[in-house]
Amino acid sequence: MTIAKDIMYCHRAYRKLSERIRSRQLFDFFAMSLPFVALIIFLTPTILYFFNAAAQHFLRLSFGNSVGVVNTPYPLFGNLSLIVLMGSYPTPLYCVGLSLVSIIGVVVLMSMRGIARSVSVYVSFVLLITLISSLFFLFTPERFPYNIEGFSDLYIKTELGIWCTIPLILSMSLLMLPSSLAERMGIIALALLYSLIFGLARYVIFLYIIGHYSYVYMAPMFIAFDPPLDTIYIVGIYSIYMSIVSKRYRKDSDIWQCS
């Protein structure tokens, strides 16, 4: 039996936004991004005060009163607070064991067939960084130039860069979508809120591992779990919203045109 349709909609691969929609949204980039960037710059001292107060609270459950806060000047943002606590260096035996575990891990991952190649390559990369870090602390620990205050400084600078970048990236990505300005700004606010909560949890975990298990994990943690993970959730939030908008307007011929 043949079923006839009154209207045949083109496949989503051939849909594009109409010129009217595209031209109407051009100015929205500044309306979406600049208020968030300005608020972040203006409110950063207050945000980081509560950010570090929460981190200090959770870390003191494990480290007690050895967890402290120092203030340091940042250009554009003013005086910002950083978490400090006592770090430790790994023993030579620990470095040898960690080196062996890293080498074995790389060999096992590269020989496994039941795991996705992208996952095995990424984990192997982290293990290689761990190997390099353990060898560094095995032979030249006295040349390690950082402490936890330096790590906190680098982490906070990275977070500030991410928070200021999210409105710009999402504004450009959401610019052409046929949705209200308030709704798109809500998506940006959601991404920033998620980044704040995720950044706090990651900060606490990083400092906990460095404080308990030594500086040897500083480089692999920061390289493996900082910028890449932020890219994942930003793209994820955008993709979910894009799917919702596409389903909402999939039959609206005033918005979608066939190429």
Q: What tokens does 241 get?
A: 């919203």
Residues 6+ apart with CB under 8 A from 133: 216, 217, 218, 219, 220
Same domain, 40 and 123: no
Domain boundary among 102, 119, 143: 143
CA-based torsion, 214, 216, 217, 218: positive or negative: positive
**Domain housing 98:** 91-143
pLDDT in tens, the chain (259 residues): 455 555 555 555 555 555 554 555 667 788 888 999 999 999 998 999 899 999 999 999 999 888 988 888 888 788 888 899 888 899 999 999 999 999 999 999 888 877 888 888 889 999 999 999 999 999 999 999 888 988 999 899 889 999 999 999 999 888 877 788 889 899 999 999 999 999 999 999 999 999 999 999 999 988 888 766 788 888 899 889 888 887 776 665 555 555 5
3-state secondary structure of 16: strand
Q: Is residue 168 part of a domain?
A: yes
Q: Are residues 207 and 117 located together in one domain of the fold?
A: no
pLDDT tens digits, residue range 176-199? 777 888 898 999 999 999 999 999
The strand pair at 256-258 and 68-74 is best described as: unpaired
With CA atoms as reference, report the closest residue to 17 among 181, 174, 237, 185.
Answer: 174
38 and 131 in a single domain? The answer is: no
Q: Are residues 181 and 122 in the same domain?
A: no
Domain end: 76, 108, 143, which one?
143
Whole-number Å distance between alpha carbons of 33 and 76: 18
95 & 191 share domain: no
In this predicted structure, what is the pLDDT of residue 37? 93
31 and 59, same domain (yes or no): yes
Q: Do 83 and 96 belong to one domain?
A: no
Residue 4 maps to a domain: no
Residues 219-236: tens digit of each pLDDT: 998 888 876 678 888 889
H-assigned helices in 16-116: 19-24, 28-63, 92-111
Asked whether residue 10 is assigned to any structural domain, the reply reads no
User: What is the reported pTM?
Assistant: 0.83
Q: State the residue for tokens 């910002």.
A: 80
